[in-house]
Amino acid sequence: MTKTAENTPIPATRTHALERLRRFVPVAGRDYAARRNFDLAAQNHPHVSGLSPYLRHRLITEPEVLAAVLGRHSAMAAEKFIQEVVWRTYWKGWLEMRPQVWADYRTGLARVLADGRHDDRLAAATAGQTGIDCFDAWMRELVATGYLHNHARMWMASIWIFTLRLPWEAGADLFMRHLLDGDPASNTLSWRWVAGLQTPGKHYLARPNNIARYTEGRFAPKGLVSDAAPLSGPPHPPRRPLPADARPNPDLPTGILLTEEDLSPGFLFDDHPGPILGHAALISVAGRSPLPVAQPVVAFTQEAMTDARARWSGRMGAPGPLSDDPAAITAWALDLGLTQIVTAYAPTGPAAHAVGVLDAMLAEVGIALIRRIRPYDQAAWPHASAGFFRFKDHIPTLIRDIAPASVDKS
């Protein structure tokens, strides 16, 4: 578990996610639109949902959240919140068509870490010792709670890049190591957007008056850069085709594999009437960074996976290992006599890399790894080929068939 600004534990469970959703739904409409940009850490961020760590691991799914909100508000009234939910979807689809961007980020990060020229200034920034009051406070909040308000993330990234003049890759890595909702697509592409790399030539500069307004006077920072050119970089790589959904053979001895990317596996059983002999979980949280990942992030991820296994144990057969070692999963599958393993598709990032290593090991011993793509992702990702505003045009179609009945039964 980690803690909020009020030092109360945040359980990594679906039950807690559903309770947070229940409490938030009444204010997800015009109240959210009016107050969502206020960063009020001392009040424990009362105007946002707090659902992002649960959505990131899919302890609760996007259709469930959207269905609950649309059951109380019209799409027009809840427009801002709906857009916030599908931003994450958009980023995932965009990166899935351009995985080289993630690879380039990791290459750039390795270069920064090996360089050493920025070490002292990186250490000061990471310790919250820059002398910029808002930045240092946000750094302390990030480390203590595993959370930052989205507006604070934008301000912090901007100060990091343009005022402190630190490599954006190191800042993105800092967030990945400490955020409970650290997501390869959302985090990497958001940092690139602030820097001016994602939408070339368009960057984001943190303004003291904006910070003062949306922190209700808590901060009025001095010394921030008021004018800076966006960073430059290579053009976006060519898009690759989106992956195709794979289907299991219901007659074969089958196991289920969970990863931290999707802990609501109910859709895996929709067209699989055959018996499931067992399940295992492949954890890849350490792969989020070449540096040590914060213990609260590791603990949250492990607890979330344990919670999912307990909830679905009646459908997934005998429990196997929860391991970060693909070889251990392969040995388990051989011992159980499996000929196929079914898993939710893991989009670009550390989990996808770990699943790829496992796939190769399983193939060597004649076991197929079947990666199922969630219908929501199949419907949304093809529209993430360009900018978000084009993607936004498809939101009405995306939510048209979402109804309260879409709540995942577990």
SS (H, E, C) 326-362: HHHHHHHHHHHCCCEEEEECCCCCHHHHHHHHHHHHH
More confident residue, 406 or 312: 312
| pLDDT at 7 > cutoff 80 | no
Please check whether residue 293 lies inside any domain of the structure.
yes
For the stretch 137-148, pLDDT in tens is 999 999 999 999
Q: Which of 188, 214, 240 lies at the terminal end of a domain, its last residue?
A: 214
Please check whether residue 282 lies inside any domain of the structure.
yes
Annotate 20-30 with b (16+ C-beta within 10 A) or e (fewer).
bbeebbebbbe
Please check whether residue 126 lies inside any domain of the structure.
yes
> How far is CA 235 from each of CA 197, 198, 348, rounded to the nearest angstrom?
9, 9, 19
DSSP string, 147-162: ---HHHHHHHHHIIII
Q: How many CB atoms lie within 10 A of CB 49?
A: 22
pLDDT at 129: 97
> What CATH number does residue 185 fall under?
1.10.579.10
Contact 188, 63 (CB under 8 A): no
Mean pLDDT within 117-135:
95
Mean pLDDT within 305-310:
97
Same domain? 286 vs 303:
yes
Q: Please give the model's pTM, rounded to 2 decimal places.
A: 0.94
What is the biggest distance separating any 2 CA atoms in the chain, rounded to whole angstroms? Answer: 67
> What CATH number does residue 332 fall under?
3.40.50.620
Across the chain, mean pLDDT equals 94
Please check whether residue 233 lies inside any domain of the structure.
no
For the stretch 178-199, pLDDT in tens is 999 999 999 999 999 999 999 9
DSSP-H helix ranges across 196-238: 208-214
Does an H or E element contain 243, and which?
none
Q: Which of 214, 240, 264 lies at the terminal end of a domain, its last residue?
A: 214
Contact 268, 247 (CB under 8 A): no
Q: Which domain holds residue 319?
A: 254-372
| pLDDT at 319 > cutoff 90 | yes
Please check whether residue 31 lies inside any domain of the structure.
yes
Degrees, nearest 5: CA angle 41-44-50? 110
Same domain? 258 vs 353:
yes
For the stretch 33-52, pLDDT in tens is 999 999 999 999 999 999 99
pLDDT at 400: 87
Reference 24, options 46, 55, 53, 56; nearest CA is 46
Same domain? 270 vs 298:
yes
If you ran DSSP here, which 8-state letter would residue 383 be given?
Answer: G
DSSP string, 21-48: HHHHGGGTTHHHHHHTT---GGGT-TTS
Strands 340-344 and 254-259, sheet pairing: parallel
Same domain? 261 vs 206:
no
Does an H or E element contain 277, and which?
strand 276-282
- The residues, any chain, with a CB within 8 Å of residue 166's CB and separated by 6 or more, are 118, 121, 122, 125, 160
| pLDDT at 408 > cutoff 90 | no
pLDDT at 263: 98
Q: How far apart are CA 274 and CA 338, in angstroms?
A: 13
| pLDDT at 108 > cutoff 90 | yes
